[in-house]
Amino acid sequence: MVSVIVAHEHRLVRQALSKILSLQSRIAVVADAASGADAMKKAEEFSPDVIVVDSSLTGLENMAEAEGCQPTTKPEVVVLPRRRSIADGDAISHLNYDDDITALIEAVLDVGGQKDACADDDSKCRKALDSLTRREKQVLSLLADGLSNKQIAHLITITERTVKYHISNILRKLDLFSRTEAAVVFLKSNLVS
Q: Is 50 exceeded by the pLDDT of residue 180?
A: yes
pLDDT tens track for 5-37? 999 989 999 999 999 898 887 889 999 999 888
pLDDT for 121 equals 58
Question: Can you give the pTM of this predicted structure?
Answer: 0.56
Angle between helices 122-130 and 179-188 (to 10 degrees): 110
- Residues 48, 20: Cα–Cα separation, whole Å: 17
Report the 10 Å Cβ neighbour count for 3: 17
Q: What are the sequence ranges of the domains in the chain?
A: 2-111, 122-188
pLDDT, position 92: 65
CATH hierarchy code of domain 122-188: 1.10.10.10
Q: Which residues contact 153 (CB under 8 A, 6 or more apart)?
A: 159, 160, 162, 163
The CATH superfamily holding the domain 2-111 is Response regulator (3.40.50.2300)
- pLDDT by residue (tens digit) across 91-114? 467 777 777 787 788 788 877 776
Pairing of strands 76-81, 50-54: antiparallel
Per-residue pLDDT band for 150 (boundaries 50, 70, 90) equals: very high
